[in-house]
Amino acid sequence: MKLYPLKFRPWLRTMVWGGEKIAPFKGVQTDITKIGESWEISGVQGHVTDVAEGPLEGRSIASLVQEFKGELVGNKVYAQYGDEFPLLIKFIDPASDLSIQVHPDDAMAQRVHGPGQKGKTEMWYVVDAEPGAYLLSGLSKEITPQEYVRLVEENRITEVLSKHMLSPGDVFFLPAGRIHAIGKGAFITEIQQTSDYTYRIYDYGRLGLDGKPRQLHTELAKEAIDYKVYPDYKTHYTPAKNARVELVSCPFFLTCLYDIDSAVEVPVPDSFVAVICVAGNGTLDALGQTVTVRQGETVLVPACAESLRLTGKLKVLTTQIP
C-alpha cells in the first residue's frame, strides 16, 4: 500500500462553552450542538482520528504510524516519538470564555501522570474574531505562588493576567507553564503537543455538561505555572504573498503561513507536513496525487514526499516537527 496526502475525519467535541461556527466553517453536516473543538488530526488515546477517504479510509493515524513509521512521519521523527503521532491540531470556537488554565511541561507530566507522558506546549492562530474578542495570555504583574492561591480563592486571578484584543491573523505562542484562556468570539487554530493535560484554575463558577461544578486543579496549576512576567506575549511576523512566512519555531513544532494566489512549492523535510487551510480553496499536489483543499480542511502530507505544491487562492498553515 502506497501513501498519499491524507485527510482525516475530525472529532467534533461538545464543550459547555462551545459555539456554532465550526460546522459551517468546515462545511460539514452534524447534529452535534455547541461544538467547542474540532480535532483535525489526533493521536490522543481515546480520540484518535481516522482517514476519511481513499485506499486507507478508516485507518487510524496510530495504525498508520505503526505500519509506515518514518515513511509517514520522517525517520528522525519516528526515532524520537516512536508510534505516537506527535502533534494535535484543532479548530476552537468559544461562545463563552474558556476557563483560566495552564499546562504542564514534559518533566511535570511524567512525574505526575506517569513515564512517557507529554506536557503541552501550543500555539494559536486567530482565524477570525468578533468585535471585542480577546484572549488572556501570561501574567501582567509578578506574583508568588502563595499570592496565586489567594487570588484564586478570592476569584480575582483575572486581575493579574495580560489581556489581548484580537484581529484575524494574530499569533500567540504558549509554552507549557503560561496561564491562558481564550475569550468568547474568537475562532482559533491550535497546534500543540500530543497531550490532553489541562489544569483548570478558574471557571467563573460554571457548571459542566453534567450539571455539576467543573473540577479545578489549583495545586497542580500552582506547580506548573511560570511566574515570570514577559515584555510581550504576542508573536509578531511580517505577512508576505506567495512566500513562506515562519510563525513559530520551537522544539515541538515549526509552523509557517502561506497566503497564496499562485502556485507555490513547499519543501518536505524529514518530517510529515500538516497543511491546515484557514481560508480559500485550491489544490495540493504530492506523491503523484492531486487533492482539493478548502477552508476548514487539514491534509497530512507524508514525509516520503520530497515536496508539495499548492495552487489556488489559499491561506494555509503548515506545521511539522523541526
Q: Is residue 66 part of a domain?
A: yes
Tens digits of residue pLDDT in 171-218: 999 999 999 999 999 999 999 999 999 999 999 988 888 888 889 999
Please check whether residues 182 and 280 belong to one and the same domain: no
Quick check: 282 and 315 in contact, CB under 8 A? no
Specify the pLDDT at position 213.
87
What's the pLDDT score for residue 236? 98
pLDDT in tens, 238-285: 999 999 999 999 999 999 999 999 999 999 999 999 999 999 999 999
Picking from 182, 205, 235, the residue at the C-terminal end of a domain is: 235
Number of independent structural domains in the chain: 2
pLDDT in tens, 6-64: 999 999 999 999 999 999 999 998 988 899 999 999 999 999 999 999 999 999 999 99
Nearest by Cα to 270 from 305, 310, 244, 300 = 305
Residue 300's domain comprises 244-320
| Judgement on whether residues 151 and 103 belong to the same structural domain of the protein | yes
- In tens, the pLDDT along 81-103 reads 999 999 999 999 999 999 999 99
259 with 153, same domain: the answer is: no
In Å, how far are 13, 63, 77, 103, 269 from 85, measured between CA atoms?
A: 20, 10, 9, 19, 17
Let me know if residue 123 belongs to a domain: yes
User: What pLDDT was estimated at residue 31?
Assistant: 87
> In this structure, which amino acid lies at residue 117?
Q
pLDDT of residue 1: 80
pLDDT at 164 over 90: yes
pTM of the full predicted structure? 0.97
pLDDT score recorded for residue 209? 84
Domain assignment present for residue 304? The answer is yes
The CATH number assigned to the domain holding 268 equals 2.60.120.10
Side-chain-side CA neighbours of 14 within 13 Å: the count stands at 8
- Answer yes or no: do 23 and 93 share one domain: yes
- Same domain? For 184 and 285 the reply is no
At residue 304, does pLDDT exceed 90?
A: yes
Spatial strand order in the sheet of 161-165: 161-165, 134-139, 180-182, 100-102, 199-202
Q: How confident is the model at residue 298 (pLDDT cuts 50, 70, 90)?
A: very high
In a domain, 1, yes or no: no
What is the mean pLDDT of the segment spanning 68-74? 98
What is the pLDDT at residue 207? 85
Residues 98 and 228 in one domain: yes
* Residue 313 resides in a domain: yes
CB atoms within 10 A of CB 146: 9
| Statement to judge: residues 157 and 36 lie in one domain | yes
pLDDT value at residue 196: 93
Question: Mean pLDDT throughout 121-146?
Answer: 98
